Amino acid sequence: MHDCILHNQRCGKSRGALEMVTQRRPDIRVVDYLSTPPSVDELEEFCRQGGLSAKDLIRPGEPRFAELGLSLSDVRDDRAWLQLVHDNPILMQRPIVRIDGRVVVARPSERVLELFG
> Is 11 one of the catalytic residues?
yes
Given the residues 11, 30, 34, 90, select the one marked as catalytic: 11
What is the three-state SS of the chain?
Answer: CCCEEEECCCCHHHHHHHHHHHHHCCCCEEEECCCCCCCHHHHHHHHHHHCCCHHHHECCCCHHHHHCCCCCCCCCCHHHHHHHHHHCHHHECCCEEEECCEEEECCCHHHHHHHHC
Catalytic positions, written as ranges: 11
